[in-house]
Amino acid sequence: MPKLGISRGSNLLPLTLIIFTLLIQNGSTAARTTTNSNLHFKEAPQFYNSPRCSALNSSENAVHVAMTLDIAYLRGSMAAILSVLQHSSCPENIIFHFVASSSTETASLNLIIKKSFPYLHYTIYPIQDIAAVAGLISTSIRSALDCPLNYARNYLADLLPQHLQKVVYLDSDLILVDDIAKLAATPLSGDSVLAAPEYCNANFTTYFTPTFWSNPSLSLTFANKNRKPCYFNTGVMVIDLVRWRAGDYTTKIVEWMELQKRMRIYELGSLPPFLLVFAGNIAPVDHSWNQHGLGGDNFHGLCRDLHPGPVSLLHWSGKGKPWARLDANRPCPLDGLWSPYDLLQTHYTLES
């Protein structure tokens, strides 16, 4: 599947016109969606392997994808799953690993997934001790970032089957427009545990408080001359689970979270512990695989444009989510790229 070539300039105006035409056509039903407690989703089409795909006879020739599942973001998760399957050359070889916040939610989530994706290969893993995870969380700049499930990525190596060697982790507020097998094939050279797009032009110091930088024993974390830390977004990562387990990286992340409870060294939820442990030792991934920030900043969620260059994955990180803005009839232009993957059945559709 070729990359979706979206660029600034002459190509953007026709795209914007198309998007707003679609929104006008669908706007009357978009505002009348169901509440989170009563979600109904359509059945997605079934996608089949191309002739060149090998049969899924073992875990080795599968692409393993980890995501979280909860009611609040379920609409986004369903769209993300559909986008992964639709743009894959070998969709029957994709195995999903969903993490849920509790076993009580698992049954209802399982029914929803089975109804919309009856052919999907997947398992749902509840976090057994959600209270312990919640107890490690410090309040951040936005309450949505303080959900225990937002920290599930810390524990994937413990939750997922021990025989799994590599997994692609995806957030629920994104869609793919390229073959996920390309992302999964990212080489993790040297001793890298993670692969992700890095953004070295970002002001790295702003992710930590003055308390952190004024304490020599803490700021020396990044003093190694061989370690050049850069920001990376944890919503899209390729993780070597073997190296993670061997290095006991869950414990290292938890230790930083415990320190944060005693003295505030960062403000932004689950990201800073990952930066503290991994920044400067990340295997590179092309920026097309995380066109992030489409949800705007963490306070206002204002509309944003794409970064220059090709697009393989669009990520609505930030406060604004495309489904919420579409429902409110206040969409950003790029939210129209998400709407074709929305499986939610509106009241209008259900009544028809």
pLDDT 10s digits, 109-151: 999 999 999 999 999 999 888 878 888 887 776 666 678 888 9
| Between residues 351 and 269, the one the model is more confident about | 269
CB 335 within 8 A of CB 326: yes
Residues 6+ apart with CB under 8 A from 219: 212, 213
Rounded CA-CA distance 333/328 in Å is 14
Residue 24 has pLDDT above 90, yes or no: no
pLDDT tens digits, one per residue of 250-259: 999 999 999 9
Q: Which pLDDT score, from 0 to 100, does residue 228 have?
A: 86
φ, ψ of residue 80 to 5 degrees: the values are -65, -45
Q: Which pLDDT score, from 0 to 100, does residue 4 have?
A: 44
User: Where does the pLDDT of residue 9 fall: very low under 50, low under 70, confident under 90, or very high at 90 and above?
Assistant: very low
User: Where does the pLDDT of residue 46 fall: very low under 50, low under 70, confident under 90, or very high at 90 and above?
Assistant: very high
* 182-188 contacts at long range (C-beta below 8 A, 24 or more positions apart): 182/312, 183/236, 183/238, 183/285, 183/289, 183/312, 183/313, 184/63, 184/64, 184/238, 186/238, 186/283, 186/285, 187/283, 188/238, 188/240, 188/243, 188/283
- Could you tell me which of 165, 167, 149, 287 has the C-alpha nearest to residue 237? 167
What mean pLDDT is predicted for residues 20-24? 41
Q: Where are the domains of the chain?
A: 58-281+331-339
* The two three-digit tokens of residue 169, written as one number: 């982790």
CB 290 within 8 A of CB 171: no
Domain 58-281+331-339: CATH superfamily is: Spore Coat Polysaccharide Biosynthesis Protein SpsA; Chain A (3.90.550.10)
| Between residues 330 and 299, the one the model is more confident about | 330
Q: Which pLDDT score, from 0 to 100, does residue 294 have?
A: 95
Q: What single-letter DSSP state applies at residue 212?
A: H
Rounded CA-CA distance 108/307 in Å is 38
- Could you tell me which of 37, 81, 23, 67 has the C-alpha nearest to residue 343? 81
Is residue 288 helix, strand or coil?
A: helix
Residue 21 has pLDDT above 50, yes or no: no
CB 22 within 8 A of CB 339: yes
CB 126 within 8 A of CB 106: yes
* The two three-digit tokens of residue 98, written as one number: 């969903």
Query: What Rg, from alpha-carbon coordinates, does the chain have?
Result: 20
Q: Which pLDDT score, from 0 to 100, does residue 267 have?
A: 86
| Between residues 39 and 170, the one the model is more confident about | 170
Query: Highest mean pLDDT: which of 12-26, 49-63, 118-132, 321-335?
Result: 321-335
- Could you tell me which of 254, 190, 184, 265 has the C-alpha nearest to residue 222? 265
Q: Residue with structure tokens 């509840």?
A: 126
pLDDT tens digits, one per residue of 49-103: 999 998 887 667 899 999 999 988 999 999 999 999 999 999 999 999 999 987 7
Which amino acid, residue 101? S
Residue 181 has pLDDT above 80, yes or no: yes
Q: Which pLDDT score, from 0 to 100, does residue 141 have?
A: 64
Residue 347 has pLDDT above 60, yes or no: no
pLDDT tens digits, one per residue of 194-242: 999 999 988 888 999 999 999 999 999 998 877 889 999 999 999 999 9
CB 289 within 8 A of CB 169: no
Q: Which pLDDT score, from 0 to 100, does residue 5 have?
A: 39
- Strands of the sheet with 282-284, listed across from one edge: 121-126, 94-100, 63-69, 166-170, 236-240, 194-196, 282-284
